């Protein structure tokens, strides 16, 4: 089989090494502008429209990540009837769970405040939070969201979850749809955003919704920067309705110099590193799915474009 590869911003040599190990019998080439030679599959991250437009030969397009908003934005450039397939996890779930657990425990144990006291050379005991009052709401209960729920469930926090359609998860109070969003937000002292980015979820964390969180709430965003209306979050932090935020994603990346988030001590910033795609594990997963497709078997991870994930 012939496979074309393109990853915007990545080194293709590293990926080709992993893919050739996982798919040794197949011809894998890096796509370049003007390449219209036949291919059976495409493996991509943020591909240019010209790579896929007009192709009638592809049997599947593999997206090197769980988020598919960038590839779906190609719209009509995507070949009709060709499945877009996202990675189910590929090592990202445990990384997300580690990141969220760290941020959650940092707030619960008040290490964020102790860091501020250290900077001020101020030695003072802070009253611990009650775990029963420190409910955690996970906004998005897909593969990664459920992995986060599984990880933080061991700590004994009250757990809530929201999804577009109703889910049933042991130990989690689940809410669904537009009708369930308000109650979910009101119940979440710590809000973890792990939603896919779609037309419905873009800007979902605006002032009106963020104000529904309990006063003194915390936000952890490991999904997409476009979920958050940044000026609304900043205002609510400064008004002390939001006690703190840990953000791994932003509307513009890299976060521009001079952005107000840099100088707000209650906002913690990391450069989109909550979960990195692991090349070898991803290549093995893609190889397994290609084999299954070739044998006519069903696979997981096929994107429903009408839902946006």
d(CA 304, CA 309): 6
Largest CA distance in the chain: 68
Instruction: Give the model's pLDDT for residue 10.
Output: 80
**Cα separations (Å) of 181 from 164, 205, 237, 277?**
9, 11, 21, 30
Token readout for 254 is 């890299």
Residues in the chain: 309
Burial class (CB in 10 A: 0-12, 13-18, 19+), 219: buried
Closest among 102, 109, 99, 101 to 131, alpha carbons compared: 109
Instruction: Give the model's pLDDT for residue 90.
Output: 80
- The model's pLDDT over 14-64, given as tens digits with 9 standing for 90+, comes to 999 999 999 999 999 999 999 999 999 999 999 999 999 999 999 999 999
- Residue 122, Cβ neighbours under 10 Å: how many? 9
Closest among 103, 50, 118 to 270, alpha carbons compared: 103
Burial class (CB in 10 A: 0-12, 13-18, 19+), 39: buried
Peptide bond into 254 cis (omega under 30): yes
Q: Is the dihedral of CA 169, 170, 176, 181 positive or negative?
A: negative
- The model's pLDDT over 77-98, given as tens digits with 9 standing for 90+, comes to 999 999 999 998 888 999 999 9
Regions of the chain where pLDDT drops below 50: none
Instruction: Give the model's pLDDT for residue 65.
Output: 85
d(CA 153, CA 261): 30
Instruction: Give the model's pLDDT for residue 39.
Output: 98
Residues 43-77 as b or e (16 or more Cβ within 10 Å = b): bbbbbeeebbeebeebebbbbbbbbbbbbbebeeb
d(CA 107, CA 173): 22
Token readout for 188 is 């979440």
Active site residues: 224, 272
Element (H, E) at 288: helix 279-294
Instruction: Give the model's pLDDT for residue 227.
Output: 98
- The model's pLDDT over 230-241, given as tens digits with 9 standing for 90+, comes to 999 999 999 999
Token readout for 214 is 């309990």
């Amino acid at each position: 089989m012939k496979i074309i590869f393109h990853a915007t911003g990545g080194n293709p040599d590293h990926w080709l090494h992993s893919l050739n190990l996982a798919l040794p019998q197949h011809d894998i080439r890096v796509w370049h502008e003007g390449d219209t030679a036949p291919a059976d599959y495409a493996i991509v991250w943020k591909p240019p429209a010209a790579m896929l437009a007009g192709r009638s030969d592809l049997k599947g397009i593999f997206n090197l990540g769980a988020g598919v908003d960038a590839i779906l934005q190609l719209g009509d450039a995507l070949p009709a009837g060709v499945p877009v397939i996202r990675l189910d996890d590929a090592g990202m779930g445990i990384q997300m769970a580690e990141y969220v657990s760290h941020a959650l425990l940092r707030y619960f144990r008040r290490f964020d405040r102790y860091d501020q006291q250290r900077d001020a050379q101020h030695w003072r005991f802070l009253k611990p939070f009650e775990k029963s009052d420190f409910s955690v709401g996970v906004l998005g209960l897909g593969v990664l969201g459920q992995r986060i729920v599984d990880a933080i469930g061991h700590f004994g926090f009250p757990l809530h979850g929201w999804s577009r359609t109703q889910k049933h998860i042991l130990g989690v109070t689940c809410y669904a749809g537009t009708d369930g969003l308000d109650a979910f937000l009101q119940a979440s002292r710590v809000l973890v955003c792990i939603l896919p980015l779609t037309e419905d979820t873009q800007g979902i964390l605006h002032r009106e919704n963020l104000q529904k969180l309990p006063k003194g709430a915390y936000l952890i965003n490991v999904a997409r920067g476009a979920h958050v209306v940044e000026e609304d979050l900043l205002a609510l932090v400064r008004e002390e309705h939001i006690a703190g935020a840990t953000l791994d994603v932003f509307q513009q990346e890299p976060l521009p110099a001079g952005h107000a988030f840099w100088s707000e001590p209650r906002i913690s910033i990391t450069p989109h590193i909550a979960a990195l795609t692991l090349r070898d594990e991803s290549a093995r997963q893609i190889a397994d799915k290609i084999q299954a497709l070739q044998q006519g078997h069903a696979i997981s991870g096929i994107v429903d474009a009408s839902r946006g994930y």
